[in-house]
Amino acid sequence: MSTKPLTAQGRSQSLGLVPGLGLTFVLALVAKQLSSLPYLNLLGSMVLAILVGIAWRYFIEVPATALPGITFATKNMLRYGIILLGLRLNIPQILATGSQALLLDVGTVFTALTLIPLLAKKAGLPGNYGSLLAIGTGICGASAIAATAPVVQAREEEVAISVGIISLMGTLMALVYVLLYPILPLSPTEFGLFSGSTLHELGHVIAAAQAGGSDSLDLALLVKLGRVALLVPVVLFLGIFYNLRGNKATPTWRKLPIPWFILGFLALSLLNTWHVLPPSLVTSLVQLGVFFLTMGMAGLGLNVNLNMVRQVGIKGLSTGLVGSLLLVLYSYLVIFLM
């Protein structure tokens, strides 16, 4: 089973996208077909794409030539899909989320950054695991961990294992959310707020919130993108904090991980608000965006290494689980008290 970093260099990088993108494309088609079957349609195409990806990696070795394309699907195709989903929203709807979404975003990130490092220390996890798990849980999973790692001077092993914990925990929670949604005392709007404020990766949020319908998914995206936007000030703060402790890895503005795709999402929301594009084109582009997202989900599944459980042990998994449950508790209280 391949565990090489999902990167490529030089001329082979662009050529190497084809096998991986082809694999995620096929898995997305399989997931889409499976979602039309009885019982499986309760999970939806995106959750099924994650599960199909996990199964493929577990039973069939992922070739090294496919890794760059899988990375591209997980990062870029996912973001392209999110941008296109902006065509389903309008600016008044965005503003209507109001103070509740802001409180969820800021509170979730603050809760994760303050409590998860304490949990990691209590569990006896060494090094930077607490910081990496905190920012991965509170903000946006693997991408937040990757952006933070140079600032806290984390070792490659710490980064890889933290990403593994977040990927596994987020996938399991997304599946649980979908299965429990029919019996949860949450409206589609509340379920969107809940999913967007508690799940780890953008892909996990989209896969879970899809169970609540289009309104739930749209609101979950807005809340999650608010957390993603907080990555820049958080990384800058951590850089200053570690610099004061003697770490000279303070990020410059040019190197800050600014999530530019959020601007594309908002720009298409403006186009939809002003009814610039014909409805038939909007429908087609949204469907294309959903398929891009499904390809990204397949990529997420292919990145989940079940053997990681043996490497992190009970300490890492329990820290990730308890930290995630704290976010669930916070979000649940905010949704029902406001």
State in Å, rounded, how far the first CA of the chain is from the last one.
48
d(CA 33, CA 334): 38
Contact 100, 331 (CB under 8 A): no
Sign of the four-CA dihedral 131, 75, 160, 242: negative
Residue count of the chain, please give it.
338
d(CA 44, CA 207): 8
Q: What is the pTM of this model?
A: 0.83
Mean pLDDT in residue range 94-110: 85
Inform me whether the pLDDT recorded for 303 exceeds 90. Answer: no
Confidence of residue 253 (pLDDT cuts 50, 70, 90): low
* 252 Cβ neighbours under 8 A, 6+ residues apart: none
Among 82, 83, 78, smallest CA distance to 267 is for 83
Torsion region of 223: left, alpha or beta (phi above 0 gives left; psi -120 to 50 gives alpha)? alpha
Inform me whether the pLDDT recorded for 2 exceeds 50. Answer: no
Residue ranges per domain, the chain? 15-337
The helix or strand, by DSSP H or E, that contains position 73, with its residue range, turns out to be none
Q: How many CB atoms lie within 10 A of CB 96?
A: 12
Tell me the pLDDT tens digit for each residue of 201-251: 888 999 999 999 998 998 999 899 889 888 888 888 887 777 766 655 556
Residue 210 C-alpha from the chain's centroid: 14
Torsion region of 98: left, alpha or beta (phi above 0 gives left; psi -120 to 50 gives alpha)? left
- Poorest-pLDDT segment among 13-17, 27-31, 259-263, 298-302: 13-17
